[in-house]
A and B are shown apart, each in its own frame.
Chain A
Amino acid sequence: MVKRNLHKIYMGLIFVFLYAPILVLVAYSFNDSTSRGNWGGFTLKWYIDLFNDRDIKTALYYTVIVAMLAATIATFIGTFSAIGLYNFKKKPKAIMVNVNYLPVVNPDIVTGLSLMILYLSTNMKLGFLSMLLSHITFDIPFVILAVMPKLKSLNKHLTEAALDLGATPLYALRKVVIPEIMPGIITGFLIAFTLSIDDFVISFFTTGSGVTNLSIVIYSMARRGVKPTINALSTLMLTVVLILLFFINKRSALVEGQKNNGGIK
């Protein structure tokens, strides 16, 4: 009994440690006083400032565009590469899978600066394109890692059966293989999208000339000191994440439910 309570107290303290900073940000985003300590009453003026801030609006635009494009292209390339790599002979496959791991195990700063060196040595201008290419590069490995296990657990006879029944290899791929590995593809896309939305280090090194994302704007604002508009921005971003998570949870609960119903029938 004592142990139980000890567990509860410990977890309680950990949750305070995890959530206190976030709650502070949210509370201060409504605080009508620039100095941190005083509570100057409730206000929405930081939110209005936020909506009038051009830097933040451009950053938001680039963040969403880059994440959408990078995740989509990476999912496309990654899925086909996973199918291709799956059919490689053992040794080349091992080499390729390991090279594919490099961006995953390398520190972000090394990936970022090495890509920056690549772009600048080939006289490419740093900007939107270089940032997009970098995002695709670090997204693809995660898509492959999400799709590969689904391919491994795929029943080989399914494709053979489709071919025996007269399907062309491409038709079999489209109608049999792709639908079977779809959960992996969707997971890969979601991972790629979240990584892109959240990325700071690699974007920081590979972008230039007025192209920024939200992380870069937050970084430069925070370096200049504490600013209440960042609190408002964090509150909004947190709300978006919560809404997204709610829908993802609801969706997976729905899928689970359907599966269970199917089982009973």
Chain B
Amino acid sequence: MNKKQKFFAYPYVIWMFIFIVLPIVLVFLYSITTKEVNNIKTINFTLNNYKLFFDPLYIGVTIRSINLALVSTILCLVLGYPIAYIISKIHSKHRNTVLLLFILPMWMNMLLRTYAWMTILGNNGIINNFLNMLGLPSIRLLYNNSSIIIGMVYNFLPFMVLPIYTALSKMDQHLVEASHDLGADNRTTFLKVILPLSLPGVISGIIMVFMPAVSSFVIPRLLGGNRSLYIGTLIENLFLVTGDWNFGSAVAIMMMLIILVSMSILNRFDVDKEGSGSNLW
């Protein structure tokens, strides 16, 4: 409509180049070089950083992180689908209140939500105190895989529930009635009508949980203790403790690849292309 208004975007185009494109190019550059890239003359290209990533130690770290993220995602789906379904069935008068109550904890700082579990699962936390009161010995609940999974499910559950709820509430209720009229029982209706129609929501839910779960370093750091490495904590270590930017960049690029590949595989199931927000991948 107004050709001149194009210019409004030009400053941001430059901004995007400096603060979005250039940093990622730099990460890539660091991942294929040795030492610093500042000086063009002494630049040294290498694939050693990627070779190091395929060392059994780091492959183990990657597989452990993917496993943990997968378990958390599956748990979120198993717990979250019924929640989304039940909320979508609630009478419209109360539905928004229940939804608000469900989202409310998300408004609290993520670190505090994670920290809260430290006080519950800790060695002299609530659960162990309760056990002691009953005369039972304390059990070690914190600083292992299950405490990380609890933290992830607690933090990311709404990311699974909200897209599924949106898909379910957009669904035409007459389809369910039609299915019943045509003689399908509840189970068949669910499997043949409701589930396929909510699939886009399920897929974006899986993406939205898996992505932060695989890259998180806060939850493993606080609830997992220092003993085992995960891909997120490995990257944090390499950048902020050991200062090995080259290998750290390679790990970051590999993590982005893992996320991209899993997103594109998932998007194949999403026939309507409704689920995910981005059309880039």
Contacts and interface: CB of A to CB of B under 8 A. Distances in A.
Interface in B235-251: 235-236, 239-240, 245, 248-249
A215 interface: yes
A156 B1 contact: yes
Interface stretch (A13-21, A48-56, A257-265): A13-21
A14 B101 CA distance: 11
Contacts of B42: none
Interface stretch (A64-72, A102-110, A180-188): A102-110
A37 B23 contact: no
B108 A102 contact: no
B79 A21 contact: no
A84 B12 CA distance: 10
B111 A215 contact: yes
Contact of A218 (B1, B3, B115): B115
Interface in A69-116: 77-78, 80-88, 96, 98-111, 113-116
B259 interface: yes
Counting chain B CB atoms within 10 Å of each CB, the highest count among A15, A18, A223, A233 belongs to A18
A58 interface: no
A184 to B, nearest CB: 15
Contacts, number: 226
Interface stretch (B14-22, B48-56, B267-275): B14-22
Nearest to B256: A110
A198 B66 CA distance: 26
B166 to A, nearest CB: 16
Contact of A101 (B4, B252, B278): B278
B83 A11 contact: yes
A134 to B, nearest CB: 8
Contact of B280 (A37, A98, A219): A98
Contacts of B239: 113, 116, 205
A46 interface: no
A86 B111 CA distance: 37
Interface string A135-147: 0010010000000
B2 A87 contact: yes
B252 A113 contact: yes
A87 B3 CA distance: 6
A214 to B, nearest CB: 7
A11 B2 contact: no
Interface in A205-236: 205, 214-215, 218-219, 222-223, 226, 230-231, 233-234
B116 A24 contact: yes
Contacts of A101: 277-278, 280
A109 B235 contact: yes
A80 B5 CA distance: 9
B118 A226 contact: yes
Given A11-B86, A223-B221, A22 B108 contact: yes
A248 to B, nearest CB: 11
Given A96-B16, A160-B1, A218 B111 contact: yes
A14 B153 CA distance: 12
Contact of B107 (A37, A81, A88, A241): A241
A105 B211 CA distance: 9
B278 A226 contact: no
Nearest to B85: A7
A117 interface: yes
A114 B26 CA distance: 7
B189 interface: no
Contacts of B126: 24, 36-37
B280 to A, nearest CB: 4
A129 interface: no
A37 B105 CA distance: 24
Interface in B142-179: 154, 157
Given A35-B124, A98-B279, A198-B110, A234 B24 contact: no
Given A25-B112, A106-B256, A115-B23, 20 more contacts: A14-B83, A21-B119, A21-B120, A77-B11, A82-B9, A84-B9, A87-B5, A96-B16, A101-B277, A105-B280, A118-B26, A137-B20, A173-B5, A198-B109, A205-B239, A219-B222, A222-B114, A226-B119, A233-B112, A245-B104
9 contacts: A22-B113, A35-B124, A114-B23, A114-B24, A121-B38, A137-B20, A201-B218, A222-B115, A241-B107
5 nearest A-B pairs in the assembled complex, by CB-CB distance: A84-B9, A84-B8, A37-B129, A21-B116, A114-B23
